[in-house]
Structure 1
Amino acid sequence: MKEKILIIDDEVNICTSLVLALKTKYEVMIVDNASDGLFCFQADHFSVCLMDLNVDSRNEMELIKEIKEIDDKVIIIIMTAYSSVSDSMEAIKNGAYTYLIKPLDIQELFLVIKRALKYRYLDERVEYLSQKLEEKNTYHGIIGKSPQMQDVFQMIEKVKNLTTSVLVTGKSGTGKELAARALHYSSGRKQYHFEDVNCAAIPESLLEEELFGHKKGSFTGAIANKMGRFEYADNGTIFLDEIGDMSLSLQAKLLRVLQQREVTPIGSNITKKLNIRVIAATNKDLKKMVEEGSFRSDLYFRLKVIEIKMPELKAHRQDIPLLCSHFIHHYNQQQGKNVQYLTKEAEKILMTYHFPGNIRELSNILEYAMIMCDGKIIKMGDLPEEVQAVNNKGFTVNRIFKEDLSGLTLKEAEKKIILQALEENQWNRRVTAKKLGISDKGLRNKITEYELVKTKKVGK
């Protein structure tokens, strides 16, 4: 099947010549205005678009963007006169592949089209292989090829079809909810409800009603019966996130539900039997809370029949490139961009960053970097400044100076670090910025913010 080429140009002689030259190898269609060109893209698929910048009164840059919104894979080649070369460069910034000077050299045109199609094929191949690699290392939405994540996958596989309660533990941002969802959607309960309840986000006075429901007239405002989340999840799974924030009184009622496998709505004397899987999660140390008396020991042991520990991102750094590829693909779709990958320098910085916010923080970093990124490649300068402040040895600036920073606030510590670095480099800002791993502009802003000035050394 021949590749399709659309020509958008209002010069009849040029279009006729191009069709005669290209039709031996390609399927060619011509239109003489931008509106018809857009309609063609909406109605059909084209591999290449040859476009004259002055086809009509429409804004050419907007036309390129609109075409790319319809098909971001299409190769746009600009045809232009010498006087419009600057506009052609602007078109390339907005998504065009390259430009050719009129009158066109047919041999050069064939060569450019051939290279463009090869580029498109390689681009699609890279995307396809990246998706396949991600699929291979993805378990029901959780990404990871590291031994730590493979252990998590194996544990989920072992217990997915049991009715046993599961406690998912780990720091914030490690993917506890993803693990709970993987448990549900890999099990025989997947056709039933997965009810997600954040115990920390609902006021204590409302949480009991949310979980167990109420009977009409049981209190002021109860104008109708309300089904609780436990009953709604019957035959499925209920996920109690941030279980460590639940009050002791409500813990006692939850314990009874887990023991009896039945629920009694507020204001009712009728119990309802449940066939339900309970998964709880927390970033708190429940064992310590039991010792302190802020969490019931009987509920703790009832929940912790099986424990799945989600590792911190710094414990499975080898998964960072996979996760980056996943987030780039996700934000490309969300933001309508076509970012391909990170430079080796940017990836190296991420591989050495300490990620206090774990995978959630990595996601936020990639979203920020893609907003800052002007092209298809994320560079180190596109990353947030706190991430850039990682030196080549893999230590953050704060770690390097930690022996000098005890007792200081974050701002005081940062001020001291920057001043010390400036003095060590004789106030050479470019060298200092490079050593600190931040941009020149970032350093200038910090000098202004902290009102740093060069001190004069008094001679002996």
Structure 2
Amino acid sequence: MSHAVLIVDDEARLADVLAAALEDLGYRTTAVDNARAALQELEQARFDLVLTDLRLPVMDGRELLQEVRKHWPEIPVVIITAFATVRDAVDLVKEGAFDYIAKPFEMDEVAATVRRALRLSDVVRDNDRLRSELEGRYSFETLIGSSAPFRRVIEQVTEVCETRATVMLSGESGTGKEVVARAIHFNSPRRNKPFVAVNCAAIPETLLESELFGHVKGAFTGALSNRIGRFAAADGGTLFLDEIGDMPVAVQAKLLRAVQERSFEPIGANRSQTVDVRLIAATHKDMRQAVAEGRFREDLFYRLNVFPIALPALRDRREDIPTLATHFLGQLSEAMGKRVIGFTPAAISAMSDHEWPGNIRELHNCVERAIIVAKSPTIDVHDLPRDLFESSPRRGDSGSIPGDLDAELERIERDFILAALRRTGGVQVQAARLLGVAERSLWHRIKKLGIKLSRSASE
């Protein structure tokens, strides 16, 4: 899609020349002869650049620049002036103009300035889009679950995100510690600053100190240039130290100083650097046991454990499994371009009974695999990975076989329908969507099972 340029000049002949020249270069142009008309155009259509004369009737180019910066800060403004001096140029740029063009000018000069301004505009818009996507991806709404253990996690995240407190996230692998860390960052005052993640277990001990704090050229063999560490890269934002329990003891001492004083020395440097960084640490290990065994410094542990949040294993929040599975189904089916709209009650039952040793990560992979092999719009038991049934027994299963299979299946179906109705406040359309069945199918099942609907769907 071509860029749109708004030209503002009270000399109609010059405006026409600029418009024709820019259109020959592939741009879409709109020309107006005063600033008021320009503001009206900006309110009605999307523009990527404003090219305006400085001298205009009633409202001049400088005032127009101020209005554009106020209401459309992402749009660069280039000013054309016949009174170009160094002072004018500096003042205009200080006030927010991208650049200025002095009359008389060559069209090659105008074209080059327009290209540079539009390149900036594209970068700003891409950054805004990416930031918006990240904020949406890690908003509170993406912390999926309504079980009591997970509600407590959301409450704690809400309490701590607006503060500067250091957070320690604990929980088994795959419970979503990095997702929670990003949610804390993107819902904090630091949301527009960097979020930098370091996996302390994935970096060799010999490189971890340099990775965290950087080094200067010649500090050691192979240090061919200066390198900025993760602490400096996260200045003003959040540094996420994943698998902190695997950090070597030798590096822990230097980390302790950085945590205490918010300053550090790159390897080989003789001067300290000060940073403003919010720390979030995460581990799947028992840190108190690691301290007792001398594998982790006690003073560092207490510095990091200011606000602890324990993430529950998926088997401890089973009522969230249908909701999580449906959430992943929506995300993955859209990304894969495959129309899969739900799960059968039997598939939901099978997933709810699994122990999920890999937690949310394993559930995500299970849903992704099921979408790939599914032959119909609804995922059934046979679409689920076989190891879902071989790796762990069903809850309450001691090897016995029900004496009445039909009655047992009817009980399971009734339980899931009632759970869905309760969760949706008795709204059958939403309950059907949650269960992965058509609304008409749900209505027939409710009638067949003799379920009496009430305001709370509890009968």
Verify same fold: TM over 0.5: yes
What's 1:234 paired with? 235
Q: List alignment gaps of at least 5 residues for structure 1.
A: 1-134, 402-420, 425-460
**Does the residue aligned with 1:143 lie in a helix, a strand or coil?**
coil
CA contact (8 A) 2:340 2:371 kept: yes
Distance 2:258 2:196 in 1: 16
Residue identity matched to 1:280: A
Change in Cα spacing, 1:392 to 1:342, as seen in structure 2 (3 Å) is: farther
- Cα separation, partners in 2 of 1:232 and 1:284, compared to 1, 3 Å: same
Q: Does 2:267 match 1:266?
A: yes
Deviation at 1:158, TM superposition (A): 1.0
The match for 2:354 is: 353
Aligned partner letter, 1:147: A
Separation in 2, partners of 1:212, 1:154: 33
Q: Distance in 2 between matches of 1:386 and 1:217?
A: 52
User: Would you say the 8 A contact 1:140–1:186 is kept in 2?
Assistant: no
Query: How many positions carry a matched residue from both structures?
Result: 266
Cα distance change, pair 352–170 in 1 and its aligned pair in 2 (3 A):
same
Residues 381, 388 of structure 1: 8 Å contact kept: no
The one-character-per-residue Cα deviations of 1:369-414 (angstroms, maximum 9, x if unpaired) are 1111011010101111122359996346xxx37xxxxxxxxxxxxx
Letter in structure 1 aligned against 2:253: A
**1:404-450 alpha-carbon deviations (Å, 9 max, x no partner):** xxxxxxxxxxxxxxxxx9xx9xxxxxxxxxxxxxxxxxxxxxxxxxx
CA contact (8 A) 1:352 1:390 kept: no
CA distance in 1: counterparts of 2:274 and 2:304, whole angstroms: 19
Residue 12 of structure 1 is matched in structure 2 by none
Q: Work out whether residues 313 and 359 of structure 1, in 8 Å CA contact, stay in contact via their aligned partners in 2.
A: yes
Q: Are 2:354 and 2:393, in contact at CA under 8 Å, matched by a contact in 1?
A: no
> Aligned partners of 1:153 and 1:308: how far apart in 2?
10
Q: Would the aligned equivalents of 1:169 and 1:310 in 2 still touch at CA under 8 Å?
A: yes
In structure 1, the residue matched to 2:363 is 362
RMSD: 2.3
| 1:75-103 per-position Cα deviation (integer Å, ceiling 9, x unaligned) | xxxxxxxxxxxxxxxxxxxxxxxxxxxxx
Question: Partner letter of residue 218 of structure 1?
Answer: A
SS in 1 for 2:371: helix
Would you say 1:172 and 2:173 are equivalent positions? yes
Cα displacement string for residues 97-141 of structure 1 (whole angstroms, at most 9, x for unaligned residues): xxxxxxxxxxxxxxxxxxxxxxxxxxxxxxxxxxxxxx9x97153
Q: Is the contact between residue 140 and residue 185 of structure 1 (CA under 8 Å) also seen in structure 2?
A: no
Q: Give the SS at the match of 1:280.
A: strand
1:334 Cα offset (Å): 2.6
Deviation digits for residues 245-280 of structure 1, max 9, x if unmatched? 111010111001001110211100111111110110
- 1:215·1:268 contact (CA, 8 Å) conserved in 2? yes
Q: Distance in 1 between matches of 2:244 and 2:305?
A: 12
Q: Structure 2: how far apart are the matches of 1:140 and 1:279?
A: 21
* Distance in 1 between residues matched to 2:139 and 2:393, nearest whole Å: 31
Q: Secondary structure at the match of 1:227?
A: coil
Q: Could you list the runs of 5+ residues in structure 2 that have no partner in the other structure? A: 1-135, 402-459
**Aligned counterpart, 2:222:** 221
Matches of residues 33-432 of structure 1 in structure 2 within 5 Å? Answer: 139=140, 141-389=142-390, 394-395=395-396, 400=398
Cα distance in 2 for residues equivalent to 1:207 and 1:323: 35
- SS of 2:169's equivalent in the other structure is strand
How far off is 1:165 after superposition? 1.1
Q: Is 2:214–2:266's contact at 8 Å kept on the other side of the alignment?
A: yes
Match of residue 413 from structure 1: none
Provide the secondary structure at the position in 2 that maps to 1:226.
coil
Aligned-residue sequence identity (percent) comes to 44
For 1:309, give the aligned amino acid. A
Structure 2: which amino acid aligns with 1:338?
R
Partner of residue 58, structure 2: none
SS of structure 2 residue aligned to 1:308: strand
**What TM-score do you get using the length of structure 1 for normalisation?**
0.55
The answer on whether the counterparts of 2:216 and 2:269 sit within 8 Å (CA) in structure 1 is yes
Q: 1:395 to 1:387 in 2, by over 3 A?
A: farther
Question: CA 1:219/1:374 → structure 2, altered by over 3 Å: closer, same or farther?
Answer: same
Contact 2:354/2:392 (CA < 8 Å) preserved in 1?
no
C-alpha separation in 2, matches of 1:392 and 1:294: 36
Q: Distance between the aligned counterparts of 1:344 and 1:210, measured in 2?
A: 49
What secondary structure does 2:282 align onto? strand
Q: Does the aligned pair in 2 maintain the 1:355–1:362 contact within 8 Å? A: yes
> Once the two structures are superposed, what CA deviation does each residue of 1:330-375 show, in whole Å capped at 9, x if it has no partner?
2112321110101001101111111111111111111111111011
Maintained 8 Å contact 2:355/2:392: no
The verdict on how the C-alpha distance between 1:391 and 1:256 changes in structure 2, with shifts beyond 3 A counting, is closer
TM-score w.r.t. structure 2 length? Answer: 0.55
Q: Which amino acid aligns with 1:171?
A: E
